[in-house]
Amino acid sequence: MDAVAVAQLVRAMAMATQPEALSQAFLDDIVPIWRWQGACCYRRNLAGDCLLPLASVPSSVALPVLDTSELDNPVVYCLSSARPCQVDDINRLVSVGESFDALRAHWPSTQALLALPLKNTRQEMTGVLVFFGVSGALLALQAAPLWQALLDTHERLFARLSDLVSTEQSIRYERTVHRKREADRGDHRAERLLASEFVGESAVTRHIREEMLRLADSTLSILITGETGTGKDHAAWLIHQASARGGPFVPVNCAAIPNELIEAELFGSTRGAFTGATQARSGLVAEAHGGTLFLDEIGDMPLALQGTLLRVLNEKKYRPVGATKERESDFRLICATHQPLSRRIREGQFREDLYYRIRQQSLHLTPLRERAEDIPAIATHVLLQHNRARHAHVAGFSDAALAWLRNQTLPGNVRELRNLVLAAAERTGQGKPIHVETMQALTTPADMRTTRDGAPLQDLLSMHNLTEAMDTFERLMIGDRLRQLNGSRSQAAQSLGIPKRTLAYKCRKWNLDRETDSL
């Protein structure tokens, strides 16, 4: 770009009186010079719930309005984080939002995306510049001094014009777009939330999302069942988020609270009600008023407390420990369990009348092995979250890695897949994809190929005592994971999908403290 062309561009931008004209002049010259496949500019509306199109190249493109509730949308992420966002392959982005899908459909052959934040003079986020092109060209471009100088000029002028646009003009400009958007939206916000957070495109997953949407505004109790790691707690949270209930989501893990404390945790207590009750507590049932109370692992609730819970559900009234008067709480109940409650009923460990009361509606989460076609989408979603949370730049998965993942049984379901992807991402260099060898090394640790005495792993299968074989397998796996994570019990427990206290017990049982230097 010669000096004359640069001067003409700067003059055209300086003479613009509206943000739309400024950005259009900027993009008209920038895109062909640097051989972008396309570009556009968005401005945040007054309410902050959407991004409105200002300019594009080609200018004939009818850009969609972007919904700022699409938190995985890279353009929205750029706005909310106030920092640039680069995606090397947008075709690997799955279920990040309908409005983003509509945006990238205008450039179907593009590969990479670069989103740059725009601010006003008060450093408030007001818009986003979006460029579509090839990944290598994006990196080279950001190192070009002329590009940076022109970009800085556009940002300063955009900030000034954003301040000059009057509130009345903004309201008039947005009113027509907002009216059409509200007419078309209906209950699509809940659908988008479920699609972006409960990832997968299989028929099974689509059916689960449809059921979650149906259950969202139900006032009946819901029982969620499924194997460990299928995401029952996440599904409960999504049902609450998709509903119109304005109160909080209050989760309670019935298996994690000691039996002698769970009643006080749920219903609260008065001061002096028991030893250690130095002050009154309101309890989680009171906290869930107007919202959702989620009882995870309901099958582990003490039998004596189940009758009390049944009465609370029937009458919406409860009595704090030590209190003489009853109180009321209007909450919707969601429960979850991986145990077959029918068997617990036969064993006398769960009340049959409570079972039917909490199972007014039901939702079963299918294990991941029965919807293996969703594995690549879930893995890509987890990696996207990792890159954003850690400001990393792991470039997806190799084809062989995705093919290998689809063939894994993954008994820990989504939790196991998530932990595997996160561990592999931390072992992958910046700008490189995750390879199949990295994940295979994580799932088949070297110490698990032989026993402590050097015998092959096949010896485990020849053991006559199942308990001994299982203990040996657990000891080898936990010991190897602790060494991989430099002795961090917190990280090891998280990666194995077990509570930290369970890991601590097993470490003491097998004297693993002696085998890991950092413990």
For the CA atoms of the chain, what is the radius of gyration? Answer: 28
Tokens of 414: 């989504």
Q: Which residues pair with 30 in a beta bridge?
A: none
Amino acid residing at 96: V
Q: Are strands 125-133 and 327-328 parallel, antiparallel or unpaired?
A: unpaired
CB-count burial class (<10 Å; 0-12, 13-18, 19+) for 147: middle
Q: At what angle do helices 232-242 and 188-197 cross, to 10 degrees?
A: 160
**336 within 8 A of 233, measured Cβ to Cβ:** yes
Q: What pLDDT score does 209 carry?
A: 92
Taking the whole predicted model, whether its pTM rises above 0.75 is answered as no
**225 within 8 A of 337, measured Cβ to Cβ:** yes
Q: What pLDDT score does 232 carry?
A: 95
Q: Are strands 125-133 and 38-44 parallel, antiparallel or unpaired?
A: antiparallel
Tokens of 369: 């092995």
Distance CA 273, CA 284 (A): 17
Tokens of 426: 């931390």
Sign of CA dihedral 455, 456, 462, 465: positive
CB-count burial class (<10 Å; 0-12, 13-18, 19+) for 487: middle
Q: What pLDDT score does 457 carry?
A: 53
Q: What pLDDT score does 317 carry?
A: 86
CB count in 10 Å sphere of residue 398: 16
Q: Which parts of the chain have pLDDT scores under 50?
A: 166-169, 173, 176-177, 180-186, 446-456, 514-519
**264 within 8 A of 273, measured Cβ to Cβ:** yes
**345 within 8 A of 352, measured Cβ to Cβ:** yes
Distance CA 446, CA 353 (A): 50
Distance CA 135, CA 503 (A): 43
Q: What pLDDT score does 30 carry?
A: 82
Amino acid residing at 39: A
**61 within 8 A of 38, measured Cβ to Cβ:** yes
Q: What pLDDT score does 189 carry?
A: 66
Sign of CA dihedral 287, 289, 293, 298: positive
CB-count burial class (<10 Å; 0-12, 13-18, 19+) for 464: exposed
What separation in angstroms does the CA of 410 have from each of 58, 308, 378, 413, 420?
Answer: 46, 38, 13, 5, 10
What separation in angstroms does the CA of 516 have from each of 228, 250, 484?
Answer: 28, 38, 10
**331 within 8 A of 291, measured Cβ to Cβ:** yes
Distance CA 24, CA 42 (A): 11
Query: What domains lie within the chain, and their CATH numbers?
Result: 3-172 (3.30.450.40), 192-365 (3.40.50.300), 370-514 (1.10.8.60)
Nearest residue to 254 (alpha-carbon basis) of 353, 312, 311, 337:
337
- Token pair 């015998």: residue: 455
CB count in 10 Å sphere of residue 62: 8
